[in-house]
């Protein structure tokens, strides 16, 4: 059995069953779906209400103040941007490295990316004091000749996140076109018209495939540096400032590793229930999940190393401000958050060393949820402790989140899951054509797949 099929355990998978099983996921949903949909909409409405209160009264309804001018909103922003990264990692980077087990997960992962970026994109608006003039961050000539300040990391964020959204969305959509053709070919009535429109007339001729695969490779190649650069740019929101605990060169790799870590956890958190509900065990096998878990061991260890290096350098540097701040992180007002996040991000995924844990769905879900929580608190600790414990002891202060921030955080989670819920019913959640690529071809030699003949374009 070739390596390709080793990752696809079910021997009965063939081209026909792939189409059938995956198109079936897009059937009209059961009542539970609508119930969840309604609940998510309610939570989003609550978040929206909180935001409307904030718009009317001012940022003061939130818990941020002086000195901690950034709190939950920026934490959540970085949290979502981070989650967005593993999607691209799985779709683009693993593609370039020809890692086989990506093919059945990557569609959902890419969906997680796009929706996470869409969710993250809300927060620059939400955290602004005057969001009605947020468009001033766009790079065009305004107010008689002024452009935005390209030296500011926030403007880099505008470029990076919008580019990331664009490229991910393009990649996502482009990757889906052959699948949309499949769905089109199996739909009737208005659905057929919609999918026909979306599939853009895809036939699957060799010329189309030629250009398509070339574009796919280049998009993957372009998306790869994005994975590294976007979260580096977001990390520079902090690293470009002079606050102790922020002003450090370790942030780009630290944040990118953290992003991949949290992204994998979120993908797993979504994919595991989806797999159960849609009955996709044959497509997303325990091998796939175990592979993701192994990846998380690596990213978790990188994070553990990063935390250790940060503390070490703070001590080694003999810089009083850095030392004081890191001491505060470990033993001060927010020490509980630090130890929580170390346990969740480093210790918990280390359990994946054990094979039993890797292959157990329950352990996977638990550990991935813990990682998500831990990654949220990682950003929280970074932001709040550094701002609250600055250079001048007179300015030290605490941060306590208030109801609008919690409501908006919950709303963002609901917003994200809502997108995914809609996506799951509107589009195939597993990439049919790529799974087929891995399968032995119909009527071909046993075990030979379309991928076997693949060379570099």
Partner 1 sequence: MENNRRDFLKILGIGAAAGMAGCSKTAPERLEPYVVPPEEVVRGHPAWFRTTCRECPAGCGMEARVREGRVHKVEGNPEHPVSGGGLCARGQAAVQGLYSPDRLRTPLIRDTAGKLQPASWEQALKAALEGLAKARSVRVVTGAARGALEELIREWPGAQHVIYEPVAYEAVREANRQCFGVAGLPVLRFAEARLIVLFSADVLETYVSPVGYARGIQEARRAGARILYHGPRLSLTGARADQWIPGETPPADLLQRMREVPSLAVAGDDLSDALAVNRLNSEAGALNRTVRFDRGSALDSAVSKFEAAAGEAVVVVEANPLHALPAALRNAAFVVCLSSCPTETTAAAHVVLPVHSPLESWGDYEPWTGIHCLQQPAMMPVFDTRETGDLLIRLAGLKHASFYEYLRARWRKLNPQADFEAFWAASLKLGGWWRDVPERTVALSAQAPRPPEPERQQGYRLHTYPSLTLFDGRGANRPWLQELPDPISQAVWDTWVEINPADAALLRIRTGNRVEVRAGGAAIQVPACVYPGITPGHVAIPLGQGHRGFGRYADGVGANPYLLGRGPVEIKRVSERRELVRVGGSDLQHHREIARSRTVPGESKPEPHSPLHDLTLYPEHPHEQHRWGMVVDLDACTGCGACITACYAENNIPAVGRDRVAQGRIMSWIRLERFFGQGTAESDPFQIDWTLVMCQQCENAPCEPVCPVFAAYHNQEGLNGQVYNRCVGTRYCANNCPYRVRRFNWFEYQRPGPEDWQLNPDVTVRTKGVMEKCTFCIQRIVAAKDRARRENRPLSDGDVVPACAQSCPTQAIIFGDLNDKDSRVSRMARNERRYRILEELNTRPAVTYLMRERRKV
Partner 2 sequence: MSGHSVIGFFASYDLLLNAVKSAQAQRCGEIRTISPVPLPEISELLGEKPSPVRRFTLAGGLLGLTVGWLLPIGSVYHYPLIVGGKPLVSLTPFAVVAYICTILFGALFTVLGMLLNARLPRIQVGRGYDPRLTGNRFGLQVICAQREVQEIERKMLDFGAEEVKYVEV
Q: How far is the C-alpha of 390 from the C-alpha of 68, rounded, in Å?
A: 10
Q: Does 146 bind partner 1 (CB under 8 A)?
A: yes
Contact characters 385-414, partner 1, x per CB under 8 A? --x--xxxxxxxx-----------------
For residue 294, the partner it binds in partner 2, partner 1, none, with Cβ less than 5 to 8 A by kind, is none
Q: Which is nearer to partner 2, 128 or 196 (CB)?
A: 196
For residue 337, the partner it binds in partner 1, partner 2, none, with Cβ less than 5 to 8 A by kind, is none
Q: Taking the mean position of all CA atoms in its chain, how far away is CA 342? A: 20
Q: Which is nearer to partner 2, 12 or 56 (CB)?
A: 12
φ and ψ at 146, to 5 degrees?
A: -90, 140
Interface pick for partner 1 out of 11, 35, 60, 201 (rule CB under 8 A)? 60
Contact characters 150-179, partner 1, x per CB under 8 A? -xxxxx--x---------------------
Q: Does 149 bind partner 1 (CB under 8 A)?
A: yes
Contact 379, 255 (CB under 8 A): no
Near partner 1 by CB under 8 A, which window of 105-113, 296-304, 319-327, 331-339? Answer: 319-327
Q: Quick one: CA torsion of 354, 359, 360, 363, rounded to 10 degrees?
A: 50
Q: How far is the C-alpha of 90 from the C-alpha of 92, rounded, in Å?
A: 6
Q: Which one, of 13, 26, 15, lies nearest residue 183 by Cα? A: 26
Q: How far is the C-alpha of 369 from the C-alpha of 103, rounded, in Å?
A: 24
CA 122, 157, 324 angle in degrees (round to 5)?
Answer: 100
Near partner 1 by CB under 8 A, which window of 68-76, 98-106, 274-282, 356-364? Answer: 68-76
Q: Which is nearer to partner 1, 190 or 394 (CB)?
A: 394
For residue 433, the partner it binds in partner 2, partner 1, none, with Cβ less than 5 to 8 A by kind, is partner 2
- Contacts to partner 2 by CB under 8 A: 14-16, 19, 139, 141, 145-152, 155-156, 159-160, 163, 166-167, 170-171, 174, 177-178, 181-182, 185-186, 196, 200-215, 218-219, 222-223, 225-226, 229, 233, 236, 433, 436-437, 441-445, 448, 450, 453-455, 457
Total chain residues near partner 1 (CB under 8 A): 48
Q: Which is nearer to partner 2, 100 or 329 (CB)?
A: 100
Q: How far is CA 45 from CA 39, 51, 56, 123, in A?
A: 10, 10, 16, 16
Burial 255-277 (b: 16+ CB within 10 A, else e): bbbbbbbbbbbbbbbbbbebbee
For residue 299, the partner it binds in partner 1, partner 2, none, with Cβ less than 5 to 8 A by kind, is none
Q: Which is nearer to partner 1, 73 or 101 (CB)?
A: 73
Q: Does 148 bind partner 1 (CB under 8 A)?
A: yes
Burial of residue 132, with CB atoms counted within 10 A of its CB: 0-12 exposed, 13-18 middle, 19 or more buried: exposed
For residue 66, the partner it binds in partner 1, partner 2, none, with Cβ less than 5 to 8 A by kind, is partner 1
Q: Which one, of 87, 79, 173, lies nearest residue 120 by Cα? A: 79
Helix, strand or coil for residue 400?
Answer: coil
Q: How far is the C-alpha of 281 from the C-alpha of 8, rounded, in Å?
A: 9
Q: How far is the C-alpha of 354 from the C-alpha of 352, rounded, in Å?
A: 5
Name residues contacting partner 1, limited to 225-264 (CB under 8 A).
237, 240-243
Q: Which residues form the interface with partner 1 (CB under 8 A)?
A: 57-60, 63-70, 127-131, 133-134, 136-137, 143, 146, 148-149, 151-155, 158, 237, 240-243, 320-321, 324, 387, 390-397
């Amino acid at each position: 059995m070739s390596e390709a099929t080793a990752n696809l355990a079910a021997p009965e998978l063939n081209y026909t069953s792939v189409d059938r099983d995956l198109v079936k996921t897009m059937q009209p949903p059961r009542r539970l779906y609508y119930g969840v949909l309604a609940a998510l909409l309610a939570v989003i409405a609550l978040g929206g209400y909180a935001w409307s209160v904030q718009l009317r009264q001012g940022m003061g309804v939130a818990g941020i103040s002086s000195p901690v001018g950034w709190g939950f909103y920026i934490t959540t922003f970085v949290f979502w941007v981070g989650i967005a990264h593993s999607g691209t990692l799985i779709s683009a980077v693993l593609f370039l490295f020809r890692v086989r087990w990506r093919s059945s997960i990557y569609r959902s992962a890419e969906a997680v990316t796009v929706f996470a970026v869409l969710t993250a994109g809300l927060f620059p608006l939400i955290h602004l004091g005057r969001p009605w003039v947020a468009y001033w961050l766009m790079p065009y000539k305004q107010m008689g000749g002024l452009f935005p300040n390209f030296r500011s990391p926030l403007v880099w964020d505008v470029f990076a996140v919008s580019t990331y959204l664009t490229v991910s969305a393009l990649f996502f959509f482009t990757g889906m076109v052959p699948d949309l053709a499949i769905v089109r070919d199996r739909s009737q009535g208005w659905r057929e018209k919609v999918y026909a429109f979306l599939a853009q007339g895809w036939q699957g001729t060799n010329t189309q495939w030629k250009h398509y695969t070339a574009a796919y490779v280049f998009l993957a190649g372009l998306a790869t540096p994005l994975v590294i650069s976007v979260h580096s740019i977001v990390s520079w929101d902090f690293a470009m400032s002079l606050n102790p605990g922020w002003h450090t060169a370790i942030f780009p790799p630290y944040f990118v590793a953290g992003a991949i870590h949290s992204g994998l956890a979120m993908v797993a958190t979504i994919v595991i229930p989806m797999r159960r509900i849609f009955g996709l065990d044959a497509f997303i096998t325990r091998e796939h999940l175990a592979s993701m878990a192994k990846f998380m061991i690596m990213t978790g260890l990188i994070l553990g190393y990063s935390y250790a290096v940060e503390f070490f350098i703070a001590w080694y540097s003999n810089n009083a401000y850095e030392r004081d701040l890191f001491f505060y992180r470990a033993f001060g007002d927010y020490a509980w958050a630090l130890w929580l996040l170390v346990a969740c991000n480093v210790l918990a995924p280390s359990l994946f060393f054990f094979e039993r844990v890797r292959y157990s769905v329950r352990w996977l879900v638990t550990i991935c949820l813990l990682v998500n929580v831990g990654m949220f608190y990682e950003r929280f600790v970074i932001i709040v402790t550094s701002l609250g414990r600055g250079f001048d002891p007179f300015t030290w202060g605490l941060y306590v989140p208030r109801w609008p921030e919690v409501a908006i955080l919950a709303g963002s989670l609901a917003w994200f899951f809502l997108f995914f819920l809609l996506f799951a019913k509107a589009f195939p959640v597993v990439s049919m054509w790529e799974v087929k690529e891995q399968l032995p071809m119909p009527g071909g030699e046993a075990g030979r797949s379309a991928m076997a003949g693949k060379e570099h374009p």
